[in-house]
Chains A and B, each alone.
Chain A
Amino acid sequence: MLTSLLADLGEPMTKRADLLPGTLDLLVLKAVSLGSVHGYGVLLRIEEVTEGGLLVEQGSLYPALYRLEKEGLLATEWGVSSNNRRAKFYSLTTPGRRRLKAKKASWQRLCAAMEAALDAKPREV
């Protein structure tokens, strides 16, 4: 649901990873934590920091943003974008910051464990 192949858009598929379920929330929280930003900006930030390595289905960004807002992790405010258009800006609330920290820690644990598991040599088992 969170991911799609851009094959039908003629986009080269190489070296872009599908998002694992549940990781979009974490990415959104991280992107917003870098400073108040509108929905499109969240997408740009994710693409920028991952250097296009992750495939975010753009539409799925908005359900995620609204869900996080409902959970009280994001605050919203209407403002004016850099080219003077009205846009909705998201920022991180205190519970949001706490959630980001917790999710980041659990993600890093998972990564470390996966890496260890995948790098295991026969004699170590």
Chain B
Amino acid sequence: MWIRLRLGVTGILGRRRFERELADEVSFHLSKRTEHWQREGLTPTEARRRARLEFGNVDKIKEEVRDARFGGWVEQARQDLRHGYRALANNRGFTAVAVLSLAIGIGFNTTIFSVVDAVLLRPMPYEAPDRLVAIERIFPDAGRWDITFRQHRSWRQQTDLFESMAFGWSWFEATVASEGYAPERERGFSVDTNLFATRASSRSLVAISCPRRDCPGRTMWSS
């Protein structure tokens, strides 16, 4: 493998020299042969023609020499593939483990990437996602507590920190049906009407009080 690689590298670097030397070698052969036929009594033109005919198609032979020296890359790739296939076919257990590892690895990566893409990379489908926050209530010694609607209302009255505040309280599942459309099962989140005003106001800081930990702001209103 290493030898092949090294040959390949020097092959690229020394390619021009190789071509020059090959041309020299062929022309040396042809002129020697021409001399030979001249000594046999042919005219110079005849001798040269004879030498060329005997030698064969120069370009084709040069190509064969290149193949012999560097190995046609197609041929080599084919051999490598065949070798790989045989090695894998001869060792079924190893092949199974390798294929399985690859499959699991690729699947895992795809899953992780989908999540990372949705959560981190792609911007949330709202006007100003960077100004959207979810509020939680956490006590240092008692941990997370639900936010009551009363609590939320009093915050809203006491602070002008946020442009607008909305309240959401629980997840539910419902069948959505309307005339002319097939009914669909959808997941929803109960919110107060402030949410729609909140969402509509663009470029504004919005806060959503959320009673449960598993309700990231962005899933608050899936339509």
- Given A4, A60, A62, A64, which contacts B26 in the complex, CB threshold below 8 Å? A62
Cα separation A86 to B29 with both chains bound (whole Å):
11
Known contacts A40-B33, A58-B55: A85-B28 contact under CB 8 Å: yes
Question: Does residue B146 face the partner (Cβ distance < 8 Å to A)?
Answer: no
Q: Mark B18-36, 1 if CB is under 8 A from A, else 0.
A: 0001101110110111000
**Pairwise interchain contact A59-B55, C-beta atoms closer than 8 A:** yes
Main secondary structure of the interface of B (DSSP, over half): helix
A15: interface (CB < 8 Å): no
Chain A residues, Cβ within 8 Å of B61: 59-60, 62-63
How far, in angstroms, from A88 to B69 measured CA to CA in the complex? 15
Task: State which residues 90-106 of A face B: CB under 8 Å.
Answer: none
A9 on interface, CB distance cutoff 8 Å: yes
Q: How many A-B residue pairs have CB under 8 A?
A: 66
- Which residues on A sit within 8 Å (CB–CB) of B29? 39-40, 43, 58, 62
How far is B54's CA from A57's CA once the two chains are assembled, in angstroms? 7
Whether A57 lies near B56 (C-beta < 8 A) is yes
Instruction: Count contacts on B: residues with CB < 8 A to the other chain.
Output: 25
Known: A9-B53, A9-B54. A81 touches B28 (CB 8 A): yes
B residues less than 8 Å from A70 (CB atoms): 7, 68-69
Query: Bound complex: CA of A65 vs CA of B154, how far in Å?
Result: 95
**Does A19 have its Cβ within 8 Å of any Cβ on chain B?**
no
A107 — which chain B residues lie within 8 A by C-beta?
Answer: none
Q: Are B65 and A63 in contact (CB under 8 A)?
A: yes
B: residues with CB less than 8 A from A are 7, 21-22, 24-26, 28-29, 31-33, 50, 53-58, 60-61, 64-65, 67-69
Q: Enumerate 10 A-B pairs (CB-CB under 8 Å) in ascending A order.
A: A4-B56, A8-B53, A39-B25, A58-B33, A60-B64, A62-B26, A62-B29, A63-B65, A69-B69, A70-B7
13 extra A-B contacts, CB within 8 A, seeds A59-B60, A67-B68, A85-B28: A38-B28, A40-B32, A58-B33, A60-B64, A62-B25, A62-B26, A62-B65, A63-B64, A69-B69, A86-B28, A87-B25, A88-B21, A88-B28
